[in-house]
A and B are shown apart, each in its own frame.
Chain A
Amino acid sequence: MSPPRAPPRLAVFKLASCDGCQLTLLDCENELLEVTRHLEIADFREASSAVIEGPYDVALVEGSVTTEEDRRRIQEIRASSSNLVTIGACATAGGIQALRNFADVEEFRRNIYPSPEYIRVLATSTPVRDHVPVDVELRGCPISKHQLLELISALLTHRAPDLPHDSVCVECKRRGNVCVLVARGTPCLGPVTQAGCGAVCPAFDRGCYGCFGPQGTPNAPSMTHRLHELGMSRAEVSRVFRTFNAASPEFRRASEGEEREGESA
């Protein structure tokens, strides 16, 4: 990231998404006033209708590209932002709406909507980086408040943000959680998923759902093998890889492989 001028001007944009990630900025309740002292929040329509025109020092972009309009807008956002930060599983991997990438959108359009002629969408949901260069990605569904503040802090001090590519297991162990996969046989995607959430699900006896997408070097084939040993069918394994990060390359390969094997079996 190139160092921004002070006080940096921040804008928040959304494409196809649920708004949960940009709400994380508002969730920084105790830190929010401090944030606004150091950043000029120029365009954040979830919070205020007052809008300051670009260019911006940093744009936080949530959501995936699912329409021609998105495709055009992301080019405009890129052109008006020195630093483009994508936030959340939609913007970094295509989101849950990328399930369409495995199906026929035209069929959905005809069968579901009473007036399909009003629905104009692309056949795929794609991450922002497929369309424009991205400076930093914050993973998660939703993103972590801690990582968002770390990003803002890094931006203000002109340093690289600390966003480890480790597995969720590392956070689980630091937190003192007992491994739900080993001690309970609960299917858990923690070993192939990137840290950042603070291992919140295993802390409550749930397996990891993979919200933060693939870790730095995910070994999805070995994970898949283990999930089978824990009793999951090929269809079930395919489904656990097809959630918020279904279209991330490693998770996509895993789910497609299971689907193929399931069909040929």
Chain B
Amino acid sequence: MPLPSAGPPWVLDRKDLGLLLASLRSSGYRVIGPRVRDGAILYDEVKEEGELPIGWRDRQEAGTYRLQRSEDLRVFDFHLGPQGWKPYLFPPHHLLWTARKDGGTFRVESGATTDGGPLAFLGVRACELAALRVSERVFEGGVPDPTFRDRRATLLIVAVECSSSAPTCFCPSMRTGPEVTQGFDIVLRELFSPWGHRFLIEAGTDRGRELLQPLPLRAAAEEDLADLEAQRHRVREGIHRALPVEEARGVILANLEHPRWEEVGRRCLACANCTMVCPTCFCSTTEEVPSLSGEETQRYRRWDSCFGLGFTQLHASSVRSSIPSRYRQWMSHKLATWWDQFGSSGCVGCGRCITWCPVGIDLTEEFAALRTKAASTGSRAGGVPA
């Protein structure tokens, strides 16, 4: 059988979804995908189709997330959970190296950059693909980070296009979604209509095409494509939050002394949750764990956050001791100076920072407040640099 071509898309019946999982696993991938745990949908190892959150959905608003049963048995009828794929490529706590005394000198042994074989991410959404591209520029743009590089190099991506949206989503205004258009090995588009429960399936790479080969696929028919078009329309219609990516840099840089920073600083807990759940936040610090004998020391890297007091600690005190200064640092880096540093926005519009902020601070609302009260936008700095 020839490899399925790049298009038109193929159809995989719902009953055959398990074969895709089996195909990934028999090809040597450890599959990481959505699973229900602790009242949320998290990405964890998936071995069997039954472990996927079939018939579960979530209700999200600023500062609130609730898992609930849905009326039907759709497999991917939920939105982003409390944590993205970041921990699998940039682990929260990770051994970088060990140094041991050896006579008059010492030996350094690197830590493992991966923890086992190649990973397959199952269920990557459009905004998360965008976050992955941002992370690639961060971790591989200059001197590559060996851990990220090695994990990314063997990573297989099975994207899932969103079939509904959460109230916290704002990917269209960030130009990152909701449609999946690039950056996948395989993409699934779940359709659920009188025409049946099935997936439009498409390969984006040769590797993806090989994995589709053992699957019983049929060519998509007119009604499949019509269902997809209607679904895409519904998803876009459902997204009401917005943060226009083209305006973000200019508005932020023109309003660095805006009174809104003080106001949001009174609500902000400086707890760092937004940065921990952000799929592109990449700050880390190192910790040294020497043995008591002094014969050996281990150096770890752990996630850090610009919301912590210690983040800007110099010899005597912190540079950003106030909470408003830290909120401004985070938001202005994410939306504005990220362009200067990495050539893109640091925000992808996933809305995790909105849902998982314990006091429900809404990035899009904060941006709107800066914009509407802006004395002038773009007087000191232009929009997105060319």
Contact = CB atoms under 8 A, between A and B. Distances in A.
Interface stretch (A17-25, A57-65, A77-85, A215-223): A215-223
A225 B266 CA distance: 11
Given A184-B39, A192-B269, A170 B308 contact: yes
A67 interface: no
B303 A174 contact: yes
A28 B284 CA distance: 28
Nearest to B63: A182
A190 interface: yes
Contacts, number: 137
A188 B63 CA distance: 13
A256 interface: no
B366 to A, nearest CB: 15
Contacts of A27: none
Interface string A198-223: 00000001000000000111110111
A153 to B, nearest CB: 6
Interface string A178-190: 1101111100101
Contacts of B309: 165-166, 215-217
A150 to B, nearest CB: 8
Contact of B276 (A173, A215, A221, A223): A173
Interface in B3-55: 37-40, 42
Contacts of B308: 164-167, 170, 216
A39 B319 CA distance: 37
A31 interface: yes
Contact of A34 (B40, B42, B273, B293): B293
Category for how many chain B residues contact A: 35 or more
Given A156-B292, A167-B270, A169-B271, A174 B93 contact: yes
A179 B82 contact: yes
B321 A217 contact: yes
A114 interface: no
A219 B271 CA distance: 9
A183 B64 CA distance: 6
Contacts of A152: 292
B133 interface: no
A181 B40 CA distance: 12
B300 to A, nearest CB: 10
Contacts of B356: 179, 182
B273 A173 contact: yes
A251 to B, nearest CB: 14
A74 to B, nearest CB: 27
A162 B359 contact: no
A190 B37 CA distance: 20
Contacts of A31: 292
Contact-size category for A: 35 or more
A183 B67 contact: yes
B323 interface: yes
Interface in B275-299: 276-277, 287-294
Nearest to A150: B289
Among A192, A219, A226, the most chain B Cβ lie within 10 Å of the Cβ of: A219
B364 interface: no
A152 B65 CA distance: 42
A38 B266 contact: no
B147 interface: no
B292 A219 contact: no
A217 B287 CA distance: 22
B305 A170 contact: yes
A249 B359 CA distance: 22
Given A166-B308, A170-B272, A192-B269, A182 B65 contact: yes
Contact of B302 (A169, A174, A177): A174
A217 to B, nearest CB: 5
Given A179-B358, A222-B268, A222-B359, A169 B287 contact: no
A7 to B, nearest CB: 12
A35 interface: yes
Contact of A173 (B40, B83, B310): B83
11 contacts: A35-B292, A153-B290, A157-B294, A173-B277, A174-B302, A174-B303, A178-B82, A183-B66, A216-B270, A216-B309, A222-B359
Given A182-B64, A191-B271, 11 more contacts: A37-B293, A149-B292, A166-B305, A170-B272, A173-B83, A176-B92, A179-B273, A188-B358, A191-B273, A192-B269, A217-B270
Interface of B: 37-40, 42, 63-67, 82-83, 87, 92-93, 266-273, 276-277, 287-294, 302-303, 305, 308-310, 318, 321-323, 355-359
Please provide the 10 A-B residue pairs with the shortest distance between their CB atoms, ordered closest to farther. A216-B309, A173-B276, A191-B271, A174-B92, A191-B269, A178-B38, A167-B271, A169-B271, A166-B308, A178-B40
